[in-house]
A and B are shown apart, each in its own frame.
Chain A
Amino acid sequence: MIQKKICMIGDFAVGKTSLVARFVRQTFSDKYLTTIGVKIDTKLINLSQQQIKLILWDIAGSDALSTVTASYLRGAAGYLLVVDGTRKPTWDTALNLQELVNSQIGNKPFIFLLNKADLQEQWEINNLDITEQLQQGRAVIHTSAKIGTGVEEAFMQLAMKLLNNPLD
Chain B
Amino acid sequence: MARIPFSIIKYVRFLWMSEKVITYLHIDAQGQLVDWGGYPNYYGLVNLVIGKQATEQISFLEGLLPVVHTEVIQFLRVGTSNSAHVHIVPYQSHTWVLLFDATAEHDRQQKVQQQANELSILNYRQSRLIQQMEETWQALTEEKQQLEQISQAQGRFFVTLSHELRASLSSIINNTDLLDIPLEEYETHYLTTIRNNADHLLSLIDNSLEQTKLEIGQVVLRPSRCEVKQTLKELENLFLPLAQEKGLTFTLESQPTIPSFVMIDGLRFRQVLINLVNNAIKFTEQGFIKVTLDWQDDQLKFAVADSGPGISPESQAKILTTFHREKIAYHLPGVGLGLTMSFNLIQLMGGELKIKSTPAVGSLFSGFIQAPATGYIPVVAETSQIITTTSLARILIIDDDVVNCSLIETTLRERGYLVVSTYDSRDAIQLTRQIQPDLILMDLLMPHLDGYTMIQRLREQQFTQPVIAISASNFEHDRLYALTSGCSDYLVKPINIEQLLAVTERTLCKC
Contact = CB atoms under 8 A, between A and B. Distances in A.
A75 B63 contact: yes
B118 A37 contact: no
A-B CB proximity, top 9 nearest = A75-B63, A37-B75, A5-B63, A34-B114, A36-B110, A40-B78, A55-B59, A3-B62, A12-B117
Most chain A beta carbons < 10 A, residue from B59, B72, B76:
B59
Given A34-B113, A55-B59, 7 more contacts: A3-B55, A3-B62, A12-B120, A36-B106, A71-B71, A71-B72, A71-B74
A33 B106 CA distance: 13
Interface string A57-70: 10011000000100
A5 B106 contact: no
B98 to A, nearest CB: 15
Contact of B62 (A34, A55, A60, A61): A55
A38 interface: yes
Contacts of A75: 62-64
A24 to B, nearest CB: 9
A138 B341 CA distance: 68
Contact of B73 (A1, A4, A71): A71
A13 B118 CA distance: 9
26 contacts: A3-B56, A3-B59, A4-B62, A12-B117, A32-B114, A32-B118, A33-B110, A34-B113, A36-B83, A36-B106, A37-B106, A38-B73, A39-B77, A40-B59, A40-B76, A55-B60, A57-B60, A60-B75, A60-B113, A61-B117, A71-B71, A71-B73, A71-B74, A72-B73, A74-B71, A87-B121
Interface of A: 1, 3-5, 12-13, 32-34, 36-42, 53, 55, 57, 60-61, 68, 71-72, 74-77, 87, 89
A89 to B, nearest CB: 7
Contacts of B72: 71
B79 interface: yes
B378 to A, nearest CB: 77
B77 A13 contact: no
Nearest to A57: B60
B124 interface: yes
B257 interface: no
Contacts of A33: 110, 114
Most chain A beta carbons < 10 A, residue from B60, B63, B120:
B63
B462 interface: no
Interface in B106-149: 106, 109-110, 113-114, 117-118, 120-121, 124
A76 to B, nearest CB: 7
Nearest to B64: A75
A34 B106 CA distance: 11
B116 to A, nearest CB: 8
Nearest to B110: A36
A145 B117 CA distance: 20
Nearest to A39: B77
Contacts of A39: 77, 79
Contacts of B77: 37-40
A13 B60 contact: no
A38 B109 CA distance: 13
A41 B55 CA distance: 14
Nearest to A75: B63
A37 B76 contact: yes
B95 to A, nearest CB: 14
Nearest to B109: A36
A38 B55 contact: no
Interface in B37-78: 55-56, 59-60, 62-64, 71-78
A31 B63 CA distance: 32
Contact of A40 (B56, B79, B106, B114): B79
Given A36-B106, A38-B75, A71-B72, A87 B124 contact: yes
A74 B63 contact: yes
Nearest to B107: A36
A77 B63 contact: yes
B59 A42 contact: yes
B467 to A, nearest CB: 67
B66 to A, nearest CB: 11
B84 to A, nearest CB: 9
Given A5-B63, A89-B124, A34 B117 contact: yes
A125 to B, nearest CB: 14
A37 B117 contact: no
B121 A40 contact: no
B64 A1 contact: no
A55 B62 CA distance: 8
A4 B64 CA distance: 12
A3 B83 CA distance: 23
Contacts of B62: 3-5, 55, 75
Contacts of A53: 59
A41 B345 CA distance: 78
A4 B62 CA distance: 7
Given A33-B114, A37-B106, A68 B74 contact: yes
Contacts of A57: 60
Given A41-B79, A74-B63, A34 B110 contact: yes
Given A12-B117, A13-B121, A74-B64, A36 B59 contact: no
A60 B113 CA distance: 10
A88 B55 CA distance: 39
A33 to B, nearest CB: 7
A109 to B, nearest CB: 14
B60 A40 contact: yes
B79 A36 contact: no
Contacts of A37: 74-77, 83, 102, 106
Contacts of A71: 71-74
